[in-house]
Amino acid sequence: MDYKDFTVVLPTLNEEETIGIIIRNLIKAYRGISVIVVDDGSKDGTKEKVMEIANGNRGVRFFDRAKSHRERGLTASAVDGILESRTKFVIVMDADLQHPIDVIKFMAPKLEKGKDLVVAIRADVKGWELHRKMISMVLIVIGYAILVMTGRSKCDDIFSGFFGVNRSLFAKTYNANRDRFVLGGYKILYDFLKCTKNGDILVDQIPYSFGLRQHGTSKAGFRQGMLLFKSFFS
């Protein structure tokens, strides 16, 4: 299979330990695939690692958000990456190797066959402490209830950061609902789901096993948790 219709969007903030590995793995495994790294001003060697690969490969781009006046954030970066990409389909995933690239080979055919959104769902989350599991469960219940009560699209992992989407559908949805996307937050998938009516888009999902971050440091924290409440109610 050829992946020329696919772009992988990788938001980064100080991921020098993993960014080179993931890009190399992607272009080796998926012939013709494009990659956009959307960076919010990393202070480590992330940019250098990406440029090293981009210089010999036209399909790899570094999008430097630090040079813009845009609001910083994971959702803001993923949105920029999706809008900047020029392929029919886009896959958004983390750059810290927590999202296994193998899932893409199951995601891509589903998108090509007409699914609008294919979500990689964390079937089994290994290593989280009890308090993180409990907070996550409460947030999932609230988030899911809101989607059901308001008749919105849903899937079994509404806060996944790993999904593939039809680019023009995403762009249309985002442009019609700009104020409802919480750009500084972490939950772009949730923002997208709540902006689409149940039954209007074709959603599919692929389970995978999610483990703890092995390299670099986590950027998720209290602020992102609070911003999720903004996502619920905007």
Element (H, E) at 129: none
Query: Closest Cα partner for 154 from 111, 186, 201?
Result: 201
Stretch 192-231: interaction string toward Mg ion, x if CB under 5 A: ---------------------x------------------
Binder of ligand GTP out of 15, 16, 116, 191 (CB under 6 A): 15
Range 79-98, binding Mg ion (CB under 5 A): 94, 96, 98
The residues with which 62 forms a beta bridge, in sequence order, are 37
- Under the binding rule (CB under 6 A), the answer on residue 40 touching ligand GTP is yes
Per-residue CA distances from 111 to 36, 63, 200, 228 (Å): 19, 25, 16, 28
Distance CA 149, CA 174 (A): 22
* Residue 77 or 196 with smaller CB distance to ligand GTP: 77
Tell me: does residue 12 bind ligand GTP (CB under 6 A).
yes
> b/e for 177-195, b at 16 or more Cβ within 10 A?
eeebbbbebbbbbbbbbbb
Q: Is 49 in the site for ligand GTP (CB under 6 A)?
A: no
Question: From the CB of 32, what's the least distance to ligand GTP, in Å?
Answer: 23
> What residue ranges bind ligand GTP (CB under 6 A)?
11-13, 15, 38-40, 72-74, 77, 94-96, 98, 213, 218-220
